[in-house]
């Protein structure tokens, strides 16, 4: 007989599989199968990102189906099917990969504001689906735009699912106790999905911060800087700094570039080609690039420019 945790994992996978199917029919397919192909470059890029998200969701569905099948086999034939046969344990990396690919595709859509653009293109349709969309969510206010609701409905089930993975696997670990043959595999899965939980939180926070950044920039600067793969790490509006001898109204640190903004001018430096020498005072960074040499100074003595 299987453990209560295994039975709970089976129910978890059943619910998640059904939720993914609802997301596919209620959100992803309507997002893709619009009446007309976008004519502007931004619209075409958003459609490409939504197609990638749909593909990632399909891969996640397939992996979840395989996980569910292995759990059913285990619970139906516990005497002949080893606990190690569970996909969540035997191929935890495969399950992890599917979740990470989905999050990567999803956050690219968030950064590019794909959900807001899609909601605007078919505003009447999505308003008519608002009630159905909210049935996918729990503990979320009824306020907010359709684009925000779409984003929440595509994110919340996944984050809750991974959270339950961690809790149930931890409980399974405690039930098995020391010396059980599957103990090491369970611990490995707990570590992987715990790390996934942290990765997801960080990835989602960075994507939301990056999306919010675009609204603070002029349309000209947005056109230059707004790409799906950009992730904002730090903004000099949060950590005030001055730049010398160059001039900059604002300094932005992305995961792949350091950007100096001066009016409508943009100076972008590839981080792979940037050398940083921290000053002894903790308030200065000397930056050396193939194009320029300059320094960043913290305006506030309480701030550490090294954070930037």
The per-residue pLDDT for range 93-118, each reduced to its tens digit, is 999 999 999 999 999 999 999 999 88
**254-295 per-position pLDDT tens digit:** 999 999 999 889 999 999 999 999 887 778 899 999 999 999
How far are the Cα atoms of 26, 144, 170 from residue 176, in angstroms, in the given order? 40, 45, 10
**69-89 per-position pLDDT tens digit:** 999 999 998 877 788 899 999
Indicate the CATH number for domain 231-307: 2.30.29.30
Residue bearing tokens 């603070």: 216
Residue 149: which residues within 8 A CB-CB, separation 6 or more? 130, 133, 134, 137, 140
**141-157 per-position pLDDT tens digit:** 556 788 888 999 999 99
- Domain spanning 4-214: which CATH class is it, in words? mainly alpha
How far are the Cα atoms of 9, 68, 171, 176 from residue 4, in angstroms, in the given order? 9, 15, 9, 12
The span from the CA of 9 to the CA of 11, in Å, is 5
Average pLDDT over residues 165-175: 95
Q: Where in the chain is the domain with CATH 1.20.900.10?
A: 4-214
Residue 152: the pLDDT is 93
Q: Where in the chain is the domain with CATH 2.30.29.30?
A: 231-307
Verdict on whether the full-model pTM lies above 0.85: yes
């Amino acid at each position: 007989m299987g453990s209560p945790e295994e039975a709970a994992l089976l129910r978890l996978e059943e619910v998640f599989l059904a939720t993914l199917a609802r997301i596919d029919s209620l959100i992803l397919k309507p997002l893709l199968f619009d009446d007309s192909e976008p004519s502007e470059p931004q619209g075409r890029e958003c459609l490409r990102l939504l197609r990638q998200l749909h593909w990632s969701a399909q891969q996640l569905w397939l992996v979840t189906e395989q996980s569910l099948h292995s759990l059913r086999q285990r619970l139906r034939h516990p005497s002949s099917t080893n606990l190690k046969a569970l996909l969540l344990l035997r191929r935890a990396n495969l399950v992890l990969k599917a979740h990470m690919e989905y999050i990567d595709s999803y956050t690219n859509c968030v950064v590019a504001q794909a959900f807001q653009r899609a909601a605007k293109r078919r505003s009447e349709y999505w308003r008519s689906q608002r009630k159905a969309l909210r049935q996918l969510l729990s503990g979320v206010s009824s306020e907010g735009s359709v684009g925000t609701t779409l984003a929440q409905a595509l994110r919340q089930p996944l984050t809750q699912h991974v959270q339950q993975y961690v809790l149930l696997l931890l409980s399974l670990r405690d039930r098995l106790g020391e010396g059980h043959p599957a103990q090491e595999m369970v611990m490995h899965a707990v570590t992987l999905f715990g790390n996934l939980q942290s990765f997801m939180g960080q990835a989602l926070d960075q994507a939301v911060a990056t999306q919010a950044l675009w609204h603070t920039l002029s349309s000209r600067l947005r056109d230059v800087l707004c790409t799906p793969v950009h992730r904002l790490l730090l903004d000099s509006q949060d950590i005030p700094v001055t730049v010398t001898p160059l001039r900059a109204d604002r300094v932005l640190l992305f995961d792949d570039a350091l950007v100096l903004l001066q009016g409508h001018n943009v100076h972008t430096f590839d981080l792979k080609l940037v050398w940083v020498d921290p000053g002894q005072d903790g308030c200065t960074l000397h930056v050396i690039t193939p194009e320029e040499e300059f320094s960043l100074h913290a305006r506030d003595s309480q701030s550490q420019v090294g954070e930037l």
